[in-house]
Amino acid sequence: MQEIIEELYKIGAVKIGEFTLTSGLKSPFYIDLRRIYSYPDLAMRIVDKIISSIDLREIDMIIGIATAGIPLATYIACKNKIPMGYIRIERKEHGTASTVEGDVSKKRIAVVDDVATTGGSIEKSIQTLKELGGDPKIVIVVVDREQGARERIERLGVKFYRLLTAKEIFRTLLLKRFIDEKIYKEILDYLEKTRSIIT
């Protein structure tokens, strides 16, 4: 996993600075996994790692959360020859005005997103899928920022799988000397502080 983390940093998928997240939280780092699809070899290695770690034999459908979860869900679904769909966070206002693309009724579902922070959008997606008769069984993310998402999703009775955690990423970047001790400590302090607030 260290090689994957190093590559993520080198392609700019892990950024250090000041950022505002979808959840509204301020953050000293940003994980931008949309960049990996410009590097298909890296994207496939990440997907292969996910697939080798999860038993998808009892999953009927892969659902990606728009927008970043859609390409990841597509890779996983195609590799496993499992039906795929996606879910919008906001209902579209034209055509069928649907929130979910794909027939999810009575399907055992793996919900896919790239990064999890507080888990709010994932929880909303799970609730929507249930309202449509779907049965979300597992959530799959590449990176868990460890700011409450896992606890939030598991309270819903849904399994939570993450390939990497934020702490693992920054520990590796410290060991590889891409960041120094000061930045590493600031990020760890931030993660601990925000985790205690959220959970």
Q: Looking at residue 164, which CATH number applies to its domain? A: 3.40.50.2020
Tokens (6 digits) for 26: 């301020």
In the chain, the number of structural domains is 1
What digits encode the pLDDT tens for the residues 8-25? 999 999 999 999 987 778
Q: Tell me the three-class secondary structure of 133-178, residue by residue.
A: CCEEEEEEEEEECCCCHHHHHHCCCCEEEEEEEHHHHHHHHHHCCC
Higher model confidence: residue 31 or residue 22? 31
Higher model confidence: residue 71 or residue 195? 71
Query: So what's the pLDDT on residue 199?
Result: 52
What digits encode the pLDDT tens for the residues 134-169? 999 999 999 999 999 999 999 999 999 999 999 999
Separation between Cα atoms, residue 78 and residue 28, nearest integer Å: 35
Separation between Cα atoms, residue 49 and residue 163, nearest integer Å: 8
What digits encode the pLDDT tens for the residues 70-122? 999 999 999 999 999 999 876 555 445 579 999 999 999 999 999 999 999 99
Domain of 77 in residue numbering reads as 2-198
pTM confidence score = 0.93
End-to-end CA distance of the chain: 28
Query: So what's the pLDDT on residue 97?
Result: 57
